Chain A
Amino acid sequence: MRQDGSPSDLREGLATGRGELTLYVAAGVVYVAIGVNFPEFLFSWVVAAGYLLLCVVALPAIRRRLTR
């Protein structure tokens, strides 16, 4: 760990945040697919923020609650 709180190298970073990274990459792939087919979706920062929060915060929380 470095002084600024970030991992010392990429390998350490991937080891600690692999699950989270997978979630963001999957959200990104779906976002790009939707955006290419419906480009209107790409114009709004607010829509992107809502989409990201849904994918990486709300859906995993719902899944955790259901599998508990």
Chain B
Amino acid sequence: MSWAAHDLEPYVIQKELGKRVAFVPLLIGSYAPDLSSKWFVYGITVVGVKLKADNPAQFHRGWPGVGFTHSLTFGLVIGLLLYAIFRNEVVAYSFVIGQWAHALTDTGDTVGTMLFFPFTDHLFSVGAWAYAGQTGRYTDAGAYFSGLGFVWDGVFVVWALLSWRVITRGYFRTTVMAADPFWNWAGRYLSETTLVALYRVSYFYGIARWTAWLIWAHVARSFAFDLHWGGPGWVPRVNARELNAAASCRCPGCCSMKPRLGFYGAVAVCAWAKGHSGSVRDVLRAAPKRSRARRKRRALKKQ
């Protein structure tokens, strides 16, 4: 899991894609995988009753559990639902981009994510920092900000600071508002200063929280830094191989693949490709004509 990257990813994506993405669905997509699950991973007490998953890592990332929220397919399904509701493709694919960024970022820890669920429930993990959600949120925070996790978040903090243009008022007015229908709707009820502050919340939250947790872990408390791969070594961590069905698999994507689902997936992809083959062929046929026309225009300009 990441503690600040999910807050800052939407801003760096916004910087790269400009008016081609809508910010609010991008942000919701970036938060979506953890929205329904984080509280049950760490546990909460409601009217004296402690609610917590028996196996937090399995619940959060695996199957059975809500690990499907960290799959690429989940992003696509919700994106299609959004398209069916709003009939706005920018809103739909902005959500998909945000959710995919989250799912891919979370492969960095030792548990990883079921990227290709339901075709396989295998957890794909880079294993750079320890997954310690089962230890409770304070130990998890201490561990995350003592291992490579905080370095990864630091990359996003620096990247977000370098993308400072996206949080300026002029950029918000010209680019963000133009691409995202939410802000025009909200603008009927709220002042521009409030809208800009709301737009900047996650930027503020990501950078301030990263700084605060880092100080908390190493100044207020004394968690030991351990920047080894998969560290810190002092925290009990969960590994993907403990949850994966095919633990000894050399080719993880294939070995725990459910053959029937894999077959259905292949049929769906073939059907889609066949349905689009005509239009793809048309595009390919038109391409040389277009480039010829472009060359002609350039030659005319030079003259």
Contact = CB atoms under 8 A, between A and B. Distances in A.
Contact of A5 (B172, B215, B216): B172
Contacts, number: 97
B212 A53 contact: no
B209 A42 contact: yes
A57 B197 contact: yes
A45 B7 CA distance: 9
A48 B198 CA distance: 10
Interface in A1-57: 1-7, 10, 13, 16-17, 20, 24, 27-28, 31-32, 35-37, 39, 42-43, 45, 48-49, 52-53, 56-57
Interface string B179-215: 0000000000001011001101110110111011101
A5 B211 contact: no
B21 interface: no
Given A13-B165, A45-B201, A49-B201, A39 B141 contact: yes
A24 B204 contact: yes
A52 B205 CA distance: 9
B175 A35 contact: no
A12 B60 CA distance: 45
B197 A35 contact: no
B137 A43 contact: yes
Given A4-B171, A36-B216, A39-B138, A53 B18 contact: no
B164 interface: yes
B212 A6 contact: no
Nearest to B141: A39
Main secondary structure of the interface of B (DSSP, over half): helix
B174 A5 contact: yes
Contacts of B49: none
A53 B198 contact: yes
Contact of A48 (B169, B171, B174, B204): B204
A39 B140 CA distance: 13
A7 B168 contact: yes
Interface extent on B, as a size class? 35 or more
A31 B208 contact: yes
Contacts of B219: 36
Nearest to A2: B165
Contacts of A24: 200, 204
B197 A56 contact: yes
A38 to B, nearest CB: 10
Contacts of B19: 4
B212 A36 contact: yes
A5 B200 contact: no
A52 B200 contact: yes
A5 B201 contact: no
A53 B199 CA distance: 11
Contacts of B166: 6
B164 A10 contact: yes
B85 interface: no
A57 B193 contact: yes
Interface string B1-37: 0000001000000000011000000000001000000
Interface of B: 7, 18-19, 31, 137-138, 141, 164-166, 168-175, 191, 193-194, 197-198, 200-202, 204-205, 207-209, 211-213, 215-216, 219-220
The 10 residue pairs across chains A and B that have the minimum distance between CB atoms: A5-B174, A35-B212, A6-B165, A5-B170, A6-B171, A48-B205, A32-B212, A49-B201, A4-B175, A31-B208
